[in-house]
Structure 1
Amino acid sequence: MPIDSLVPAAEYALLVVVPVYDHEHAIADVVAGIRAAGLPCLLVDDGSHADCAAVLGGLARQPHVGLLRLPHNQGKGGAMLAGFSEAARLGATHVLQIDADGQHDTTELGRFAALSQSHPDAVICGIPAYDETVPKIRLYGRYGTHVWVWINTLSLHLRDSMCGFRVYPLAPVLQVMAEETIGRRMDFDTEILVRLYWREVPVHHLATPVTYPKDGVSHFDVWRDNLRISGMHARLFGGMLRRAPQLLRRRLRGQP
């Protein structure tokens, strides 16, 4: 299918965007699940090596699957930002983000899409329900970010800002992209959610199972990515201080 006809013209047009970097062993199953849900998808090749690039090229020959290739690796955030821009060009109104490594249950796609269609102005944010495969260091390490997000929003409303399974209304995302600098790597998921929350974009939560495959590929760099995330929290803290009166007024009005 030509990529320009990937998204049917509609008042509500959802496109699944999958950032991919060397996930050649898992991505075919992810795409099969997306197609089984009846949703069009855009694969964003984030500068993958030859083996993965070849797999993506084959998948993109299927109906309702598009492929956007980036010339070099930009990180998960960079791939998603490119995917948002391409989704807007194609006519999408909403983007459903799902990871390429097989952690997320693609049978949940329908629930995310249905809740988004019921609340089209809102972000639908996945809340991980982990099984026994989750590495404990990853599980407990998330709480540091949770606490900083609660500080930087002056609210407990955002329950998990790191889950890569969510739906975005595209219009406010494009506005944030035009006006703010967003982290382009593993800091992306948290930063864009906090900045959308600051702009009073509603956030709804949906619990969803998460499994860590035994042969899964993770590109999280413990040192570099933790430094990036620490820097992101520091930037957001400065932004929170400037917005504190506005955020406190929201609390007084009874908003999250």
Structure 2
Amino acid sequence: MKLCVVIPVYNHGEAVGAVVNSVRAHGLPCLLVDDGSEPGCAKVLDTLAEADRSGIELVRLPKNEGKGGAMMAGFRAAKASGFSHALQIDADGQHDTRDIPRFVELAASAPEKIICGTPIYDESVPKGRLYGRYATHIWVWINTLSLAIRDSMCGFRVYPLTPTLALIDSVSIGRRMDFDVEVIVRLYWRGVGILNQPTQVRYPTDGISHFDVLWDNVRISRMHARLFFGMLLRLPLLLWRKVSA
């Protein structure tokens, strides 16, 4: 297993430096994806990459493509650089980088599986966002006929790159906040196993959230509908996997 950390960045100039420093303290190479950030944040990313050329690679997208678009670009860049796995973590500081060794250890023990963060929230989590997540969880459990994916929205994960790239190169997947949910459901459908890793989550240190309450919820609702009909098409296979497990 050869693993790097992929961080999608969109205007988190105040927080991303601390996240990158914490990642590098674990000795892991870091791939930053600048998702069309404004000039101030872009300069911060340039400075980070310039200061650590051997440990940080910067991929710059000419315009904002959304979290999913940034992650797909990061996966492709990681594979092109010879990595077999990518650890995804957010740029805003909400994920606890002290848990990185646990994710890496699990990935090394089961390199064919996704290591999926299961959030343990503190008081900073907005209650509306917290309750909204449970609606998505229920739909994911329906669309997989399984409770294997404990949390489908957490952006702290380790992906095996070969099956992940095979999926995103063959299927149209949401490019914004719907990405995390859709990609893990579709990978599960393809037989990629899931290991869940509990991890502390707090809400952004810089106070910036790019979740669009209206349009991201519309995208997520449409995604659930697509996945539901996809589940119906796969129903015999999913049922067979349940009875033969």
Q: TM-score, normalised by structure 2?
A: 0.98
2:88 and 2:155 in contact (8 A); partners too: yes
SS at match of 2:158: strand
Matched, 1:79 2:86: no
**Counterpart among 109, 129, 134 of residue 143 in structure 1:** 134
SS at match of 1:60: helix
Distance (whole Å) between structure 2 residues aligned to residue 173 and residue 214 of structure 1: 30
**Counterpart among 78, 92, 100 of residue 91 in structure 2:** 100
SS at match of 1:124: strand
Amino acid at match of 1:42: L
**Counterpart among 192, 208, 227 of residue 199 in structure 2:** 208
Distance (whole Å) between structure 2 residues aligned to residue 110 and residue 156 of structure 1: 25
Distance (whole Å) between structure 1 residues aligned to residue 62 and residue 204 of structure 2: 28
**Counterpart among 165, 170, 174 of residue 174 in structure 1:** 165
Structure 2, gaps ≥5 residues long: none
- Superposed, which structure 2 residues align to 1:110-129 within 5 Å? 110-129=101-120
Matched, 1:55 2:44: yes
1:23-63 Cα deviation digits (max 9, x unpaired) = 00000000000000110010000000000000000000114
Structure 1, gaps ≥5 residues long: 1-11
Distance (whole Å) between structure 1 residues aligned to residue 229 and residue 30 of structure 2: 36
Shift of 1:212: 1.1
Distance (whole Å) between structure 1 residues aligned to residue 138 and residue 177 of structure 2: 17
**Counterpart among 231, 239, 243 of residue 248 in structure 1:** 239
Q: Which residue of 2 aligns with 1:41?
A: 30
Matched, 1:239 2:243: no
SS at match of 1:222: coil
Shift of 1:107: 1.1
Amino acid at match of 1:241: L
- Superposed, which structure 2 residues align to 1:13-28 within 5 Å? 13-28=2-17
1:78-136 Cα deviation digits (max 9, x unpaired) = 00000111111100100000000000011111111111011100000000000111111
Q: TM-score, normalised by structure 1?
A: 0.94
Distance (whole Å) between structure 2 residues aligned to residue 45 and residue 214 of structure 1: 19
Distance (whole Å) between structure 1 residues aligned to residue 207 and residue 60 of structure 2: 22
SS at match of 1:230: helix
Matched, 1:159 2:143: no
2:86 and 2:161 in contact (8 A); partners too: yes
Considering only aligned residues, what root-mean-square deviation do their CA atoms show, in Å?
Answer: 0.8
2:12 and 2:208 in contact (8 A); partners too: yes
Shift of 1:238: 1.0
Aligned residues with identical type, % of pairs: 61
Distance (whole Å) between structure 1 residues aligned to residue 168 and residue 187 of structure 2: 10
Shift of 1:216: 2.3
2:94 and 2:205 in contact (8 A); partners too: no
Amino acid at match of 1:34: V
CA pair 59-140 structure 1, distance change in 2 beyond 3 A: same
Distance (whole Å) between structure 2 residues aligned to residue 128 and residue 184 of structure 1: 22
Matched, 1:185 2:160: no
Aligned pair count?
Answer: 243
SS at match of 1:59: helix
2:118 and 2:154 in contact (8 A); partners too: yes
